[in-house]
Structure 1
Amino acid sequence: MLDIFFMTFFIVVLIDWSMILNCLSFMFIITLFKICDSGMNLFKLIMILLSIWLLCMMFYSVHNNERSFLLALIFMLVLMSLEITFMSYKMIFFYIGFEMSVIPVLIIILGWGYQPDRIEAGMYMLLYTVFFSLPLLLGIFYMNYMTNIFMITVLMFIMSFMVKLPMFGVHMWLPRAHVEAPVYGSMILAGVMLKLGGYGIIKVSFFLGDFLYKYCKLLVVYSVVGGFLLSLICFMQSDMKMLVAYSSIVHMSLVLSGLLTLKSIGLSGAIFMMIGHGLCSSGLFCVLGFTYNRTHTRSIFFNKGLIFIMPLISLWWFLFCSSNLSFPPCLNLSGELFLFISILHWEPSMFFILMMLGTISSLYSIYLFSFTQHGKYLKSYSYMNLSMMESLGLMLHWFPLNILVFDLHLMMF
């Protein structure tokens, strides 16, 4: 897998965007030929494939006026840090890549953000990730000297991953970062960065599995209840970007609960959900960014009646909102079913709260689509429809999201 990393290193020197996209496509094909691996290597390859695919979509989403060598360099630094994280076998190298991935996203938010509040949002993200990552660094250094592992030791290892997912209670950095980030910043945040937390929990479960099962039972219940509360908070949002950001946290709360049950069906469901959510949420932020570029507002109350003036954008809103509520044949459907089965097998008494969570999480996607696409539009003129490049980027999000479900065996350990 080092050949992929060195190829990324040499792509950085390219200046022309079309050449970078061609090289990334070539990297994707080479990585795809290695998909015959199994076990943890298969999961690493899947996450690297997802990272390369979404990075190509980020290049597609950048407007011609914003294209610069500096921005392309930052995109490639994001990919390099993710490859270090996913490829590393030693925990210290995993930690280095895990922390390196924050820096390019922070630069994107501070340099290409929309509003003056981006400085505060960047500090939120930096403080949350660095402060909760310090216990993980201590745990890595003293791992060989630990004779007795207690709950505080387990929390040292997984607290950083729960913030990165994020878990309810330590999630406040994510909505602020999404609101201030540009389209491509939100795409990489929702598409890959949130998956680092799930990947980290899977990685530490190989040597802390028994202790996770012993000490983290309360976290499963807490995460499901937190996901239910956040799904209710989605109905209180007037900013479309905040609503999509909170919906990401709801999905990741299910992933965290399924992983902590330590069941094989929960692991498979978490992998399906992470891949499906990476494509679906990135596509939602992408179509939201295209809408914002035309209406110059993210408010649900001002974006009304878009189906009458921009029907093609409205079609993509429908496709991604239906995927967000796990409508078949979306990959999110199989992920949610596997995770629900895993949690119910772990504790059957959680049936009612899971039923409420599944219902409410479907309703806020319907709420988002119906309030923005229907009704009387407040302005009296129409906008330019989607360009061919923008439509291609959205299609490349939606197509694998609804095709991969037909052969789930490709993504199972």
Structure 2
Amino acid sequence: MLEVLFSLGLIAVCNHWLLNLNMLIIYFLWSLLNLYEVGEFNLKIIMILLSFWLVSMMIMSVDLKDKTSDLLIMFKLLLICLIMVFYSDSMIMFYMWFEISVLPVLLIIYGWGYQPDRLEAGFYMIMYTVLFSLPLLIMIFYLDKFIYLNKGVVILLMFIMAFLVKLPMTGFHFWLPRAHVEAPVYGSMILAGVMLKLGGYGLIKVTFFLGDTLFLYSTSFIFYSLLGALWLSCVCFTQSDMKMLVAYSSVVHMGIMLSGVLTLKNISIEGAVFMMMGHGLCSSGLFCILGVTYTRTLSRSIFLNKGIYTVMPASTLWWFMFCSSNLSFPPSLNLPAEILLITSIFSYTSISWSILILLGFISSMYSIYLFSYTQQGQTSKFFSFCNLSHKENLMMLLHWVPLNLLILDLSLMTFY
């Protein structure tokens, strides 16, 4: 991985977009050869592969008029930060790059966002991240004295609050819908695809030395997370903005993943990795096709985008593909992820069955609601649009193919 970092530094002076995209593809293929390893290193490689893939998709999604050297520098800085976050072994280096990775996303929202409200959205994001990360920094300095500390719920929260905000957990999620609404398409893609996975990766990382303390309080966190996911699933039906609905669906999926990780079972950790990969590709694809639709209709409203099927049927095909993957329809990677996570939660506490049944039903319905209300019906505003270009179809295909083909060999993403 050091070779990749050195070569990224060498091409940092090159502002040619196509050359950088080709280099990212080469780095992806080179990292793919390291998947034979086992243990935590394999988890690092999986997250780095996801970062390479989605940053490549981000570069492809940028319009010609937005292809400036400043934006390309932001992409490369973000990629270097993500590689260093996943590659760091020491907690202090992990914390440093964990915090620095927020800055490129913040600058992308500020510089290339849609509306003046992006200033408030960026302020929300940076304040949530910095405020809840400070306790983690304090506990890292006392990590060598951890065995002497009173392992109560306060100590536990100081360790994991930074990751609960990044996931985000229900109650710490208010920055995410604002950031998604104001971010450009490529900003939303990296937020949903990789930035949210930093919280899941960090939580898995701290469970290696917080296992006993987490076990004492995990039941309360599991029920709170499941009830929060159930509540936000209902909130999805009240949204008229498509970006807000997809953003809240991300919080629901991460709530299920958090509940599974807190059971501290092997199958739950594997299910969490499958969920991070599947949701990263599926949510990024949803934001991508949403951005393609927005460039033509100039609206994110569910009601103003009715009847897209009659004027742009190719777009409807991709909406169906990603909405079905979002509700864990086979052969999506989300299906084995939810099976493993729900199995681990039910085996941990059998009284959660009623919440899991309601959550599974409602979380499927809002994906059907999103597809049916935006694609079907009679349109009274639009008459025709340009069809999807070859590049846009390629972007959709590159999101959908790994999302649905990785289920053929799940052993590629296991690290036990």
TM norm structure 1: 0.99
Q: Give the Cα separation in 2 of the matches to 1:57 and 1:243.
A: 22
Q: Output aligned runs, 1:357-368, within 5 Å.
A: 357-368=359-370
- Partner of residue 160, structure 1: 162
SS for the counterpart of 1:385 is coil
- Partner of residue 66, structure 1: 66
Percentage of matched positions with identical amino acids:
58
Q: Is 1:248–2:250 an aligned residue pair?
A: yes
Structure 1 residue 14 displacement after superposition:
1.5
Post-superposition Cα deviations, 1:151-192, rounded to whole Å, max 9, x if no partner, equal 211111100000000000010000000000000000000000
C-alpha contact (below 8 Å) 1:167/1:249 kept by paired residues: yes
Q: Is 1:106–2:106 an aligned residue pair?
A: yes
Deviates more, 1:370-379 or 1:147-156: 147-156
Post-superposition Cα deviations, 1:39-82, rounded to whole Å, max 9, x if no partner, equal 10000000000000000000110011110111011001111111
- Partner of residue 48, structure 1: 48
SS for the counterpart of 1:271 is helix
- Partner of residue 11, structure 2: 11
**Letter of the aligned partner of 2:80 in structure 1?**
M
Post-superposition Cα deviations, 1:117-176, rounded to whole Å, max 9, x if no partner, equal 000000000000000000000000111123022221111110000000000001000000
Q: Output aligned runs, 1:332-347, within 5 Å.
A: 332-347=334-349
Q: Give the Cα separation in 2 of the matches to 1:340 and 1:223.
A: 13
Structure 1 residue 349 displacement after superposition:
0.8
SS for the counterpart of 1:386 is coil
Q: Output aligned runs, 1:103-142, within 5 Å.
A: 103-142=103-142
RMSD between aligned residues = 0.7
Point out where structure 2 has 5 or more consecutive residues left out of the alignment: none
Q: Give the Cα separation in 2 of the matches to 1:119 and 1:86.
A: 29
Q: Give the Cα separation in 1 of the matches to 2:138 and 2:238.
A: 39
Q: Give the Cα separation in 2 of the matches to 1:52 and 1:271.
A: 17
C-alpha contact (below 8 Å) 1:139/1:157 kept by paired residues: yes
C-alpha contact (below 8 Å) 1:7/1:27 kept by paired residues: no
Q: Output aligned runs, 1:117-266, within 5 Å.
A: 117-146=117-146, 147-148=148-149, 149-266=151-268
TM norm structure 2: 0.98
SS for the counterpart of 2:246 is helix
Point out where structure 1 has 5 or more consecutive residues left out of the alignment: none
Q: Give the Cα separation in 1 of the matches to 2:331 and 2:191.
A: 25
**Letter of the aligned partner of 1:123 in structure 2?**
F
SS for the counterpart of 1:130 is helix
Deviates more, 1:210-219 or 1:230-239: 210-219
Q: Give the Cα separation in 2 of the matches to 1:169 and 1:9.
A: 39
C-alpha contact (below 8 Å) 2:54/2:189 kept by paired residues: yes
Post-superposition Cα deviations, 1:344-402, rounded to whole Å, max 9, x if no partner, equal 00001101100100000000000000000011112142111111111111100000000
Partner of residue 378 from structure 1, selected from 365, 377, 380 = 380
